[in-house]
Structure 1
Amino acid sequence: MVERHHQWMTQFGRSYKDVADKAHRFKIFKDNTDFIDTFNAAGNRSYTLAINDFANLTNEEFVLTRTGLKMGSRRNSSAFMHADVTEVPSSMDWRTVGAVTGVKDQGKCGCCWAFAAVAATESIKQLTTGNLVSLSEQELLDCDTSVNQGCNGGNRDLAYHCNPERPAPRAGKISGYEDVPANDEEALLKAVSKQPVSVSIDGSGSQFQFYKSGVFTGECATMTNHAVTIVGYGENSDGIKYWLVKNSWGTDWGEAGFGMIQRESGNVEGICSIAKRPSYPLA
């Protein structure tokens, strides 16, 4: 276990301030590694876990630094634009048509909402103009101070893509947004068949923290605290239907930053409450 910890430190460029700090983090690393090994050894789930960038964080520390979504009010979804869609493809991956930018990393900032919103905006811009442009999450952080309060309270030290003090040409715009009817995976499927959709989920569980591959089926709570973007859907070889999501925890999480969350699980809100609060931008 000591050797695995040293290999992990080398891989992720970690160091500790003193012997006591290293011993403390090693214990957390060992507990997390034991949890991952035990889960994978059971071999009774449709997904696997792996040691990743978060392996020396307790789940409580992980939740504090990587989640933190604060919810605003929902619009009436009676004007749902995709309601009349009657046929959808059996599978969809918006990456294959060049409508999804690369995976980004929110860092130690509870601003997943900005990344989920920007990802969907980048995609609708590409689908309407043919140009895929990486847009600025930092701009949203600087502007949205009422509901989400910037970086979980206004940390401006994390500049992702721009200097907020320097005006830049407008790279993209939307005319508004629509909410998908809540707790309706059929409606959500119609929307995703036409464009990527931003959703809120529960991202706080240890299994989700260390998710690596396969179709994630739980464990999840019903309270949402994280945001991702659904960029497709499909069905695996075992017949498990899934949503394809783009996360903002870097490329070491999941399959290069993407993951599959079970679809049509029988839970009205969806796995991890993924159908609870979907929305998408309007061109």
Structure 2
Amino acid sequence: MAPSTSSSKRAFSAAMSLLLFFGMWASPAMSRKLHIMSMQERHEQWMSQFGRAYKDADEKAMRFEIFSDNAGRIDQFNEAGNTTFTLAVNQFADMTNEEFRATYTRLTTSSPIGDAATLFQYENVTNIPRFMDWRRRKAVTSVKNQGECGSCWAFSAVAAVEGIHKLKTGRLVSLSEEQLVECDRVGEDKGCDGGLMDDAFKYMIRHGGLTSETNYPYTATDSRPCNSRKANRIAAKIKRYEDVPGNNEKALLKAVAHQPVSVAIEASGWEFQFYSGGVFDGQCGHNLDHGVAAVGYGTSKGRMKYWLVKNSWGASWGEQGYVRLKRETRSKYGMCGIAMSASYPIA
């Protein structure tokens, strides 16, 4: 005899309830599996994008966990959408913040900062443009990459000299950071182990200038002896340098309005590590650990004033290698300490 319609309905309902129960029980595990698969795909794509390879499966597994943690935090940060800047899964995504700080932020600050502050040629300047971008004036070379070498100080000093050389001669020449890394042992300058922009300026003055990047190309190492033959082919000279009065954003504005300026910042925070775009006003203090170059300033569409800063971590970081830092903060030190230790060469 065929089962009744009501019996069939009861059997179907019971089966669906059982299926739903096991589906709900398995859902978290399934979601976790799908998440891992998706994150693994992202990791593989990221490895391909940045040419990253690991020595064995154990290292890959360890780096995947770091990547997964960073990517998850970045996604949550951007989804919250309550800041003036965004983050991205960039070339540092498989590094812990501790590893990142140890490799890419090596500015030396053990010696006194601002030892040329008695002179400031822009002190009485009053005509300050509301906007400045030295890239538009052809006074800034393309973004460079220091690699896994603590030579940010050299890139900062070189960017400032490239700028003033262009303004004085009309020629934009990409100058040699490698010469500073291998040949400059003035004061705190120790190649990939850190240095100071002021000491780099002192070396250039004593040596008679700096050669071109083409003549003495960058290697991201300091294991070779100084090549005097290359270093003596001078491409740009400076007469002296001056420090901007410390903890004074108005003074820094006067200087940047007239030329690119070497500045020191604290760049070791997790948010700065993964900065992608917008005006940065995130977590950072004033423990200076990174040398960069202020190459302009302006006001965003959201009416937030900013400093335009050229970094040396390649064009895949930030806004094609640049960061906009909030200008005119409540702190006398400026955003990330940008107003604390700025200096510029005079040609």
Smaller-chain TM-score bracket: over 0.9
Partner of 1:150 in structure 2?
Answer: 191
Partner of 1:16 in structure 2?
Answer: 54
The Cα of 1:153 is off from its aligned counterpart by 7.2
Question: CA separation in 2, counterparts of 1:166 and 1:144?
Answer: 11
Question: CA separation in 2, counterparts of 1:83 and 1:243?
Answer: 19
2:227 is aligned with what amino acid? E
The Cα of 1:33 is off from its aligned counterpart by 0.3
Pick from 217, 235, 245: which aligns with 1:171? Answer: 235
Name the SS for the 1:232 alignment partner: strand
Map 1:173-252 to 2 at 5 A.
173-252=237-316
CA contact (8 A) 1:197 1:278 kept: yes
Number of aligned residues: 281
Partner of 1:68 in structure 2?
Answer: 106
2:148 is aligned with what amino acid? K
Partner of 1:267 in structure 2?
Answer: 331
Pick from 90, 93, 103: which aligns with 1:52? Answer: 90
Partner of 1:116 in structure 2?
Answer: 156
Partner of 1:87 in structure 2?
Answer: 127
Pick from 170, 176, 189: which aligns with 1:130? Answer: 170
1:264 is aligned with what amino acid? E
**TM-score, scaled to structure 2:** 0.78
Percent of aligned pairs sharing the same letter: 53
Partner of 1:104 in structure 2?
Answer: 144
CA contact (8 A) 1:138 1:164 kept: no
Question: Which is higher, the Rg of structure 1 or of structure 2?
Answer: 2
Q: Deviations over 1:35-69 (max 9, x none)?
A: 11111111010000001111000000101110110
CA contact (8 A) 1:188 1:275 kept: yes
Q: Deviations over 1:214-250 (max 9, x none)?
A: 0000200221000110000000011100000000000
Name the SS for the 1:26 alignment partner: helix
| Bigger Cα displacement from structure 2, 267-276 vs 144-153 | 144-153
Change (3 A) 1:272 1:212: same
Structure 2 residue 81 is matched with structure 1 residue 43: yes
The Cα of 1:148 is off from its aligned counterpart by 2.5
Q: Deviations over 1:96-144 (max 9, x none)?
A: 0100000000000111000000000000000000000000011111233
Moved >6 Å (runs of 4+) = none
Question: CA separation in 2, counterparts of 1:86 and 1:163?
Answer: 47
Partner of 1:253 in structure 2?
Answer: 317
Change (3 A) 1:142 1:197: same
Q: With a CA cutoff of 8 Å and minimum separation of 6, indicate the structure with the bigger relative contact order.
A: 1
Q: Which sections of structure 2, spanning at least 5 residues, go unmatched?
A: 1-38, 196-217
Question: CA separation in 1, counterparts of 2:243 and 2:160?
Answer: 13
| Bigger Cα displacement from structure 2, 106-115 vs 141-150 | 141-150
2:88 is aligned with what amino acid? A
**TM-score, scaled to structure 1:** 0.95
Name the SS for the 2:229 alignment partner: coil
2:121 is aligned with what amino acid? M
**Cα RMSD after superposing both structures:** 1.8
| Bigger Cα displacement from structure 2, 122-131 vs 141-150 | 141-150
1:6 is aligned with what amino acid? E
2:328 is aligned with what amino acid? E
